[in-house]
Amino acid sequence: MNASAAPSRRRGRPRQDELAARQAAMLDAAVTVLVEDGYDGFTVSAVADRAGTSKSTVYSWFGSRDGLLQSVISRSLEAHTSQFPPPLPLSTDESPRDVLVAFTERLIPSMQSDVSLALARAALSNRQLRATLLATDAGERPLLTDFLAQLHRNGHLRIDDPVAAAKVLVGLLLQDDHLLILLGEYPMDGKSVGQRAGFAVDMFLSLYARA
């Protein structure tokens, strides 16, 4: 053996960044399976095949099918929340309407994303998943509630119950479109989103205007 030759590098455990990248790729595969095949087709075997890995790897990282699905939900929530920077405080050149319209214009596409709709469809027929989603508060709701509470404190609006008011605004925003989309209708386009956001906010402001 040539003493000057460099020793070969033994393959050890993947570095943390490599492991994170592999797990992210597996979650990407899991989302694709859920969107394309639905909840019934969302199996460990299907995700492993899509990711080009083994079922044992899926189990070692996520524990079970439910654990994998929970990771998909958690990552979806993180991505969802990252689109909603806190709208507080109001700058001197912003009106409550401007901030609320901008906020709701981001909310509609987020709730109509492929993964959000796939999870909602799955929850319609799976009680456990439905309970999990209901227990996982949407990332934008606390931000919206806090902002509405600030509008009340600052005298812009009369909102005694910010939590209920947030539900009213989301209801005005989504109406029955979310159900129609789950049944196969196409999501709203950009122009329709802007029109709906303006309508919902104007109706909301008229309901909660100070006398």
**What percent of the chain is predicted at pLDDT more than 90?**
29
CB atoms under 10 Å from CB of 181, counted, come to 19
Q: Which amino acid is at 5?
A: A
Cα dihedral 91, 194, 117, 35, rounded to 10, equals -100
pTM of model > 0.75: no
Lowest-confidence region among 5-9, 85-89, 91-95, 169-173 = 5-9
- Res. 12 pLDDT band, cuts 50 70 90: low
- Neighbouring residues of 209: CB distance < 8 A, sequence distance ≥ 6: 157, 158
Strand-pair partners of 157: 209
pLDDT in tens, 74-132: 888 777 766 665 555 555 567 888 888 988 888 888 778 888 888 888 887 778 777 77
Q: Which amino acid is at 191?
A: K
Check whether 161 has a pLDDT greater than 90. Answer: yes
Closest Cα partner for 111 from 170, 162, 70, 39?
Answer: 170
- pLDDT at residue number 19: 83
Average pLDDT, the chain: 82
- pLDDT at residue number 13: 60
pLDDT in tens, 22-58: 889 999 999 999 989 988 899 999 999 999 999 999 9
- pLDDT at residue number 88: 52
Check whether 155 has a pLDDT greater than 80. Answer: yes
Check whether 1 has a pLDDT greater than 50. Answer: no
